[in-house]
Structure 1
Amino acid sequence: MNAILCQQYGPPETLRLTEVPEPQPAAGQVLIGVNACGVNFPDTLIIEGKYQVKPPMPFAPGGEVAGRVLSVGEGVTTLKPGDHVFALTGYGGFAEQVVAHATTTLPMPAGMDFVTAASTMYTYGTSYHALKDRANLQAGETLLVLGAAGGVGLAALQLGVLMGARVIAAASSEEKLAVCRELGASETINYTTEDLRTRVNELTGGKGVDVVYDPVGDRFAEPAVRSLAWRGRYLVVGFAAGSIPSIPLNLALLKGASIVGVFWGAFAQREPKRSRQNFEQLLQWITTGQLKQHIHKQYLLADAPVALRDLLDRKVIGKAVVIIDTP
């Protein structure tokens, strides 16, 4: 089978399309013929050795897939060959076949296409866990989303609106902010031309925001924390800007605020029952049309390195997906 392999740590341009042996499922695993694989920021980290998970070389990036079950390992009774599924794999998804744990593989609802399924887990799974389980976001509260035009950012924006919050979207261009407004943002901030803290203060009448969703980090983190209201919650989702910021902890003290970590992948593995309950709600919203992923572009398997480069260069608005022509 064909796979995009990382054979040494480096940028996307070092990845190569290579023929490799077909994997076999062990006990508790399923073998999936991949039809689509989502492109996510952790994929750019894992190929440079900067992610908390370091697979043995060589490996294929790609952490979420959708496709058909080809075979199941010993002890798997909930899935069978031929089932349409989507799965959290961590890595290995930029390939024609991948092995996944049955506990992190879910049946696709009737009528859902592979592209939608492959763009659901990381973005909506992360953002719903963040807003529901970690921030306890309530209707009527104000939510500030940084990096709001990215995959997880747009998911957080849509979910915030669905959960009854007033959503302020912050992003780096007017093109990106236009998409945010289309998807329900009440107000927007261009943080390349506007001062983030000043604009939040103006938009909230000096009160501040109840929740900050931050997948960006770097220089925006401290002004975002300073923009919290009393008992606000700052969600640490990721560091897409590159640098891990240092936060003066006296800010949390003065605001009675919480700085809350969000590691959805660990949550899905450690608390699979609660994770599945979250997905039941998400899938209901998706199948009824209340949530709809914004697909930036579909890439062929051979062009997966280009997809990763576009993500790194901040060209992707919403979600990029790699399409695999599985036999």
Structure 2
Amino acid sequence: MRPPSALLERMTTSRLLPAFAQPSVGTGERPSRRKGAGMEFVDHRPYQTGDDTRHLDPHLYARTGEFVVREYSLNQQLPVTIVLDLSGSMSAGTGEKRDHAKLIAQLLGFAALTGGDRVQIVVPGEKTNIFSPRWHGGARADLMFDWVARAPDAGRADLEDTLRALRRDLPSHGLVIVVSDWWDGDVGPALDILFSAGHELLAIQILSPQEIDPATIETGVVTMEDAETGAELELSIDAGLLSRYRKLFAARQEEIRGLFNSKHWHFVTVSTDDDISQLFTRTLRAQGVLS
């Protein structure tokens, strides 16, 4: 499983556009808040014992007789962590949500790698999270594609627990991208924890057309099975039940969007019927997620 070559070619110059996340690791292409041996001069400071004398400013010394050091902005990598939900609800039916999620994770990872950022994929599991290696540079894209393609379904996993636990492993002030159907219950406390720790979160919600609007679901008595627990429930589906579902779905969407809007984060809903090329060349760019 690999993204279409034509789409990758169109995305070669695409870059992730975080609003708050900061480059903080390695040497990269994004100006960071740290100062060091960079290229762009930003300030002077008094010389301290142990400083590299090559950075002394001879012109200021000639004018003032004081030893001062030139400081430069340090270009670093943005740490990007992609949480790829492969739990039972993502694999239900024909697995279109799972396959869509993997493709979107690959393409977002590609945009990060070609932009000089550092990428790690995390697959939530029932007992423990599965971590990929950390990759940097466009030349590592095929390794990332292969890892995502081989990532196994995770069975039962709780997104809220994953986000809570993940905080311990996240680089400081990084960008966290969560690709999931976001059907878990109260994720608000976990989002608050990430926000308080200075992280920025981008949510990509992947839903089937029937989840967005169940108009094509046949009415009558059906037995439904929970994709993660295996629990069965017999339902009598009629117009009234479908109407109630639409109201509850709209309320859920409004609630979770409100949580993200309050933090000035992005929450993007994608249908498995949506064209992936349009998503990456138009939709995400229009929403300020990608350049």
Q: Under TM normalisation by the shorter chain, which class is it?
A: 0.3 to 0.5
Larger of the two Rg values belongs to structure: 2
Give TM-score, length-normalised by structure 1.
Answer: 0.31
- Per the normalisation by structure 2, the TM-score is 0.34
Structure with bigger helix share is 2
